[in-house]
Amino acid sequence: MDQDQRSPTGRKNGWAKNWAAKLLGQAQITIDGNKPWDITVHNDALYWRVFRYGSLGLGEAYMDGWWDSPSLDQFFYKILSLRLDDSLRLNLGMLPEWLYTHLLNPQTKSHAFVVGEKHYDIGNDLYEVMLDSELIYSCGFWKNAKNLQEAQEAKMDLICRKIGLKPGHKVLDIGGGWGGFSKFMAKRYGAKVTMLTISRQQAELAKIRCQGLHVDVRLQDYRDIDGKFDRVVSVGMFEHVGVKNYRNFMEVAARCLSDDGLFLLHTIGSELSEFGTDPWFAKYIFPNSMLPSVAQIGKAAEGLLVSEDWHNFGADYDKTLMAWFANFNAAWPTLEAKYGQRFYRMWKYYLLICAGNFRARRAQLWQIVLSKRGVKGGYQRICE
């Protein structure tokens, strides 16, 4: 036994390595193996770092180059399918995020623009090469689609048909991103759209992309909107609202919706009622975010809105994320000088862990149609 193995640090790392090997073995993942989902460890301090700091330690160690896997999406699919991530939940890495989300309200109006600055304002050049031509940054609908462009257009058209969009309808688009969906509703369906975003770069580009159309782009928090609308839509934004504000969000939607109007909420969903997010995601990808559960959405809408339809196509997010990664990876040579290698590893980790999560069906994608007083005669579900 060498000196390192006899030292307290060496013993900790050795114990943690045995723990990790047993845990990974349950998913048929081998350390330094040769299967696509196996991992190669470059620094033995990885094991104790993960044991102590959980998912935060695992993600930061990947960014630091301490470990690799030929197929991160398959690695995480295997881990998450067996719920082995539950073994990492109780650790020091989770404590700050748990205290922050339980004791405070991270999604107040004063914090509303943080995720815009930290995530959506990274650089439009990144999103322009990663996303489809309309810059739609949410799950595509792949039932009859052959590629990302078709999947995103199918998703937008599906939403418009679900809400019965007609020419002249006034629509509130909460969290409209770079304006792709607002543009689609105005151009394809003749709607008059008011679009909200909390990202300055999104707002600037959306105004350019929607020139000449009935689209009013506003850099504005949803809580500050006034007026009445025939339809309200929110696509991929509710994940930033926060459990302490779900009721307020539904109150805004109900207040702005006409009596005979429809509201469509498109959101990633969690199988559990959580009060925070993964600490690595909170630190590096989506600060102040969290995924809602069925129970939390239902409680928030209770007495305000009637649930007319609930559609889950979460498996389609796996395909969407893999398409985004393929685009990002192919375009990386044009981005590397600006963003650097550590960003590449962070972004790759983000996209592929999410793909594995949806593939394991641990996260869902819901489209929920709600009305203010119930559709007279019943809501006619749109054939997919």
Q: What is the pLDDT of residues 16-27, one digit of tens each?
A: 899 999 999 999
Could you tell me if 140 and 244 lie in one domain? yes
Lowest mean per-residue pLDDT among 144-148, 285-289, 336-340, 342-346: 285-289
pLDDT tens for residues 186-203?
999 999 999 999 999 999
What average pLDDT score do residues 109-136 get? 83
* Residue that finishes a domain, picked among 51, 66, 93: 93
- CA 248 to CA 244: how far, in whole Å? 8
- CA 85 to CA 360: how far, in whole Å? 12
Expressed as residue numbers, the domain containing 46 is 3-93
What average pLDDT score do residues 56-78 get? 97
Could you tell me if 249 and 363 lie in one domain? yes
Residue 384 located in a structural domain: no
- CA 75 to CA 20: how far, in whole Å? 14
What average pLDDT score do residues 63-83 get? 97
Look at residue 85 and tell me whether its pLDDT is greater than 80: yes
pLDDT tens for residues 248-260?
999 999 999 999 9
Could you tell me if 331 and 212 lie in one domain? yes
Residue 133 located in a structural domain: yes
Lowest mean per-residue pLDDT among 94-108, 136-150, 186-200, 295-309: 94-108
Could you tell me if 156 and 46 lie in one domain? no
Q: What is the pLDDT of residue 285?
A: 94
* Residue that finishes a domain, picked among 62, 93, 124: 93
- CA 234 to CA 205: how far, in whole Å? 19
- The answer, as to whether pTM is greater than 0.85, is yes
Could you tell me if 45 and 175 lie in one domain? no
Q: Give 289's pLDDT tier (boundaries 50, 70, 90).
A: confident
Could you tell me if 119 and 256 lie in one domain? yes
Residue 141 located in a structural domain: yes
Angle (deg, nearest 10), helices 294-301 and 246-256: 50
Residue predicted with more confidence, 5 or 247:
247
Could you tell me if 185 and 53 lie in one domain? no
Q: Give 101's pLDDT tier (boundaries 50, 70, 90).
A: low
The domain tally of the chain equals: 2
Could you tell me if 211 and 292 lie in one domain? yes
Mean pLDDT, the chain, rounded, equals 91
Residue 382 located in a structural domain: no
Q: What is the pLDDT of residue 86?
A: 83
Label residues 145-179 b or e (16+ Cβ within 10 Å = b). beebbebbbbbbbbbbebbbbeeebbbbbbbbbbb
Q: Which residues are catalytic?
A: 354
Single-letter residue type at 142: W
